[in-house]
Amino acid sequence: MHEDIDHILVTPEQIADRVHEMAAQIEEDLGDIATEITLVPVLTGSIFFLADLARCLTHKIRIGVVTVNSYPGKSLSSQGAVIDGILPDNIEGRHVLIVDDILDSGGTLRLLRESIARQSPASIAGCVLLRKSIPSAIETPCEYIGFDIPNEFVVGYGLDYDDYYRNLPYIGTLRRDIFS
């Protein structure tokens, strides 16, 4: 365990198992109604989750990345979200899966759903690895959730603090003295 981590919440094995389960559920839900899925990952946090999830899906996939700024400064969550990168073109009539690392304020997922809906996709679903156990996250509709976690500052498996710790193979809580 990295010295800056207080404790591990989700192990690499738990992540791998859950990503496989989520992919199987997505495949089952889309079944024969979709021949392909357009994945819209929110960069940069979702890169590890996206890569593992995409490899587990058997449908043909397209990937159209987007960047959303909702963590200014020291990467602590804010209530506002702004699309910094462009949404993928040509999603009219397609089945779209928004892929993100964590659902906390709900701002990112709500903003992307609204923006994508304007392009008339066949369907839109949210897929997050983590959902914090706070009202704003729990009240935000999301079809696929990997793990519900406590309201702690977490890093690893794509999640960062000031662009560090993304490469940790697990999800861990950052020691409070590191970000206080």
Looking at this protein, which amino acid is placed at residue 70? Answer: S
| Cα distance between residue 154 and residue 31, in whole Å | 34
The verdict on whether omega for the bond into residue 67 sits within 30 degrees of 0, i.e. cis, is no
pTM of the model: 0.90
pLDDT digit string, tens, across residues 142-174 = 999 999 999 999 999 999 999 999 999 999 999
High-pLDDT (> 90) share of the chain, %: 71
Read off the CATH number of the domain in which 27 is found: 3.40.50.2020
CB 61 within 8 A of CB 34: no
Question: Looking at the domain assignment, is residue 147 inside a domain?
Answer: yes
Whether residue 4 is contained in a domain is answered as no
Catalytic entry in 100, 101, 104, 160: 104
What whole-number distance in Å separates Cα of residue 165 and Cα of residue 30? 34
Q: Are strands 60-63 and 95-103 parallel, antiparallel or unpaired?
A: unpaired
Structure confidence by residue, pLDDT tens digits, 124-138: 999 999 999 888 777
Per the structure, the complete domain to which residue 38 belongs is given by 16-154
Please indicate, yes or no, if residue 27 is contained in any of the structural domains: yes
Each residue of 54-96: pLDDT tens digit? 999 999 999 999 988 755 544 444 456 677 766 777 889 999 9
The pLDDT score that the predictor gives to residue 77 is 47
Tally of structural domains, the chain? 1
pLDDT of amino acid 70: 56
Active site residue 32: no
pLDDT in tens, 85-105: 667 778 899 999 999 999 998
